[in-house]
Amino acid sequence: MTEDQSPENEATPPSRRSIRSFVIRGGRQTAAQQRAMDELWPRYGVEFSAQPVDLDRMFGRQAPRMLEIGFGAGEALLAFTQAHPELDCIGVEVHKPGVGHLLLGAESAGLKNLRVICHDAVEVLQQQLAPASVQFIHIFFPDPWHKKRHHKRRLIQPEFVELLARVLAPGGKLRLATDWEHYAIQMREVIDASASFANDAPDTGFVARSEERPLTRFERRGQRLGHGVWDLSYTRTRSSSQ
């Protein structure tokens, strides 16, 4: 997800959540995106459930799984899913125009290993996904909430990091990217402080952009303007109880 699109999800448990880190922007769905929601959602969409979903049944096979949170228009998710037919991929996004755009791309590519959940990622992580059920988690360009008074709305907070740890299998990878340096530093500090994750670049804190993360149009625009991008990669550690 980019800064120009709907941000995502707040880590506060639903019973206490008074502030959300996502805002449903006023973007209007195109006729094609609405058609995708009407016609393609039954094929790719997964309704939210407060009970853990059976991923083997959902995809019709056993395979490693990747979860992308806040996929925006779905450029990175679509490219990754196409490049990895051996993986099952799940996208979570609250912004319906972005969901519709992804569904159109999935139909065009004939994808069978993609499912989409249009719901608050916090509740998906807490309730719909079973512990240790995915092997990769991607979070690209979450809303940085630039103003200091809004930093509490940022997605990457200690409570949210532990929800990520809950669904990520030991040895799994958490990959993030942002084009806002202050947020990059906060991400690193918050995740480095968690015993559930080990930074894959302990000396610098950041890694080079993976070729598997395509340049989005927003990132290309940022490059033209001289903006930097910071990528992070973490490995889910094994706790003493695992």
What are the extents of the domains in the chain?
Answer: 64-236
Mean per-residue pLDDT, 82-93:
98
Closest C-alpha to 96, from 15, 35, 139, 16: 35
Q: What is the pLDDT of residue 6?
A: 39
Q: What is the pLDDT of residue 5?
A: 40
The predicted-structure confidence for 142-154, as pLDDT tens digits, reads as follows: 988 678 887 888 9
Q: In what order do the strands lie in the sheet with 134-140?
A: 114-117, 88-92, 65-69, 134-140, 168-178, 230-236, 197-199
The predicted-structure confidence for 4-51, as pLDDT tens digits, reads as follows: 343 433 344 444 444 454 555 556 788 888 888 989 999 999 999 999
Q: Is the pLDDT of residue 239 over 70?
A: no
Tokens of 17: 């959540």
- Comparing 6-15, 116-125, 180-189, the range with the smallest average pLDDT is 6-15
Record: fold of 64-236: Rossmann fold (3.40.50)
> Which residues are tagged catalytic?
143
**pTM: predicted TM-score of the whole model, two decimal places:** 0.87
